[in-house]
Amino acid sequence: MEIKDLIIDDRQRGIFRVHRSSMTSDDLFQREREQIFSRCWIYLGHESEVENPGDYRRRTVAGRPLFFARGRDGQVRVFLNSCPHRGALICRRDAGNTDVLQCFYHAWSFNTNGELIGVPDQEAYGPNFDRDELGLKEPPRVESYRGFYFVNFNPYAEDLVTYLAGAREYLDLIVDQAEEGMRMVAGSNKYTMKANWKLLVENSLDGYHLVPTHQTYLDYISGLGSDDSGQTASSRIVGKARALGNGHCVIESPVRSGRPIAHWHPLFGEEAREPIARVRQRLVDKYGEERTFRMADTSRNLIIYPNLVINDIMAITVRYFEPLAPDNMEVTAWHLAPREESESMLATRLDSFLTFLGPGGFATPDDVEALESCQIGFRATETQWSDISRGMLRPAKSTDELQMRGFWRQWHANMQGLSHTNVQDAPVEETEAALVLADD
Amino acid sequence: MTTTNQPTLREQVEDFLFREAALLDDWLLDDWVDLFTEDARYVVPTTDLPDGDPKRDLVFIDDDITRLRARAVRLNSRHAHREYPWSRTRRFISNVRVRETGNGELSVNSNVLVYRFRAGEGAPYVGSVDYVLRRDGKDFKIAHRRAVLDMEALSWHGAVSIIF
Ligand code: FES
Ligand SMILES: [Fe+2]
């Protein structure tokens, strides 16, 4: 099957289908590595993970072993984790603090700026042996936006901010919730799903599955009492879905439980009412009612194409997934929190995270099961197509699948060697109208 | 030389832990939750931060008794899809160490190996489970249960979907 035929996108009839070989084929997996993971901006880490000079973190990104470090000059640098001598891993711990990284194989040593500072028995090399040429290699491009670091293995890629397109505003909406910036909480959720990585993209943006798949979570939350804060009529908001350009997509939904910023819920306890009200007031003073409403009373699931998900829901989770094979991926998820948050508010936020999120939470295990179940189902190869048509002929709600189509269209363009797609769901105009109070 | 049939403290604690393991392997989760005190806590730290403190750090699980009961309700509901149909598990508890800490409380460390089988696959959870046990007549109650995984990531199971 040719790549151009992998997707059926019939905007007149409102039919969108994806051929399942896109999630099972080794050839297409290899092609993704070249066309997507070697050309797009890929998330690496957050500045707060290397807070102090000498801090470093190791990570696998787009198949490459990398590490990033804050130099003595305070600057964050990213390195390919392979010795310029003959290849051994330079950084062999997941995190730490050091001035010097020494390769254990032949003991070349490097500083956290990547410079080669020590070569045992250097006299054995000829006069053309130049230490300056043999420092640690960096990815062709490294850029950050508001604390989030990305790498790009295409030297000619457009800059990160241009690449982020409409997703930039959503990142702002999340980071602006903090007064003194955001940080990653210590501890990460690392787990494997035996499923194609694109299934997790879909799942992370899937408002349709919430009620059927996560019934046990919804029962648990409603058993704790309902939101009587009187702050909003958010239960009457209809959520919406948006494609943000370059494959980035978002769903925005009414708040179902609480948000530590800045929407109280019985789950948080009475003692949290007052601090949450203060945060809300600060946001109103700084950003006005409307933007505060969006920050506090709506939640959003955002995908930064291709493999970064930020769910700003009952807490903020940053989730990155590394494809390992057509039917396997490793997921790492972190918890993003405002730096200034008090001990007790942080505890509330952490608690809120755990009700739903993470592989020990009340929802994520069910998502793992759903995705692995799809992947096994794909072995029934006679069922060739998956249907992603929902809401194609109406202004998309958060329970529709416009956001997934936005992702898939970008994927399809990239796989054909095109960098952009400007195709939207026609003929329906995307309108802001979806995010208003419903009549009922 | 005198012999006595009185079980040692460690034997008493082991009996309790073996009973707990059997309840979990038999999916008698309501009975399992009844082993806990009202102020109990069940914590599972992340694999990269075994010393993680749930007040400050991200962990996998930090249940008070309310959420622990909800966890049992969820796992019994047939809608916890990762565990319905239930997996088969078999728990092995060993290396039990017991220390009296005063106020009728015991600090207990154990090594735990749980094999979990489901959907054509089987793999272990390996780690240690530390308890604070409180005397309750002739029996014990669990006031704190902290289960620390030795794996570097949840690579085999994809989740902590059973009670570890
Ligand atoms: S491979 Fe690193 S010093 Fe030889
Ligand atoms: Fe889900």
Question: Residue A238, Cα to own-chain centre: how many angstroms?
Answer: 24
Backbone angles phi, psi at B122, to 5 degrees: -145, 140
The answer to whether residue B154 sits within a structural domain is no
- The C-alpha atoms of residue A150 and residue A152 are separated, in whole angstroms, by 7
Is the Cβ atom of A83 under 6 angstroms away from ligand 1?
yes
Contact B159 A223 (CB under 8 A): no
The answer to whether residue B161 sits within a structural domain is no
Reading the block at residue B88, the tokens are 């088969």
A186, A188, A220 member nearest B74 (Cβ): A220
Contact A215 B47 (CB under 8 A): no
Determine how β-strand A64-70 pairs with β-strand A189-193.
unpaired
The answer to whether residue B20 sits within a structural domain is yes
* Domain A165-415: CATH architecture, name and number where available: Alpha-Beta Complex (3.90)
pTM of the model: 0.93
Tell me which of B48, B58, B77, B84 to substitute to probe the interface with A (most A C-beta atoms closer than 10 Å).
B58
Is the Cβ atom of A106 under 6 angstroms away from ligand 1?
yes
Contacting residues of A for B119, CB less than 8 Å apart: 372
The residue contributing the CA closest to ligand 1 atom 4 is A106
pLDDT digits (tens, 9 = 90+) for B40-78: 999 999 999 999 999 999 999 999 999 999 999 999 999
Sign of the torsion formed by the C-alpha atoms of A95, A98, A100 and A106: negative
- State the DSSP string of A69-118: EE-TTS-EEEEESS-TTT---S--SSEEE-SEEE-TTT--EEETT--EEE
pLDDT digits (tens, 9 = 90+) for A81-99: 999 999 999 999 999 999 9
DSSP A430: P
Q: For residue A97, with 0-12 CB atoms within 10 Å meaning exposed, 13-18 middle and 19 or more buried, which class applies?
A: middle
Per-residue pLDDT, A272: 85
B48, B60, B152 member nearest A358 (Cβ): B60
Which among B85, B66, B52 is positioned nearest to B161, based on CA atoms? B85
**Residues of chain A where predicted confidence (pLDDT) is lower than 50:** 228-237, 427-440
Range of the domain at B143: 9-149
pLDDT digits (tens, 9 = 90+) for A161-178: 999 999 999 999 999 999
Contacting residues of B for A94, CB less than 8 Å apart: 48
Kindly state the helix (H) or strand (E) to which residue A406 belongs, with its residue range: helix A402-415
The answer to whether residue B43 sits within a structural domain is yes
The answer to whether residue B155 sits within a structural domain is no
Contact A185 B67 (CB under 8 A): no
Contact B44 A188 (CB under 8 A): no
Contact B46 A368 (CB under 8 A): no
Which among A265, A233, A238, A236 is positioned nearest to A251, based on CA atoms? A238
Q: Which residue of B has its CA nearest to A94?
A: B48
CB-side neighbour CA atoms (13 Å) of B153: 14
Least Cα separation, residue B71 to chain A (angstroms)? 8
Residue A248 · residue A304 · CB < 8 Å:
yes
How many of the other CB atoms lie within 10 Å of CB of B123? Answer: 14
Burial profile A16-42: b = 16 or more Cβ within 10 angstroms, e = fewer: bbbbbebbbbeebbebbeebbbbbbbb
Which ligand approaches the C-alpha of residue A208 most closely? 2
The hierarchical CATH code for the domain A42-152 is 2.102.10.10
- The C-alpha atoms of residue A103 and residue A64 are separated, in whole angstroms, by 18
What ipTM does this complex have? 0.95
Contact A366 B82 (CB under 8 A): yes
Least Cα separation, residue A59 to chain B (angstroms)? 13
Contact A188 B60 (CB under 8 A): no
Is the Cβ atom of A105 under 6 angstroms away from ligand 1?
yes
CATH of the domain at B25: 3.10.450.50
The residue contributing the CA closest to ligand 1 atom 3 is A106
- The C-alpha atoms of residue A388 and residue A392 are separated, in whole angstroms, by 9
Question: Residue A218, Cα to own-chain centre: how many angstroms?
Answer: 24
Structural domain total, chain B: 1
Per-residue pLDDT, B7: 92
Contacting residues of B for A185, CB less than 8 Å apart: 56-58
Least Cα separation, residue A413 to chain B (angstroms)? 31
The answer to whether residue B163 sits within a structural domain is no
The answer to whether residue B22 sits within a structural domain is yes
Q: What is the residue extent of each domain of chain A? A: 42-152, 165-415
Instruction: Kindly tell me if the per-residue pLDDT of B103 is higher than 50.
Output: yes
Least Cα separation, residue B92 to chain A (angstroms)? 21
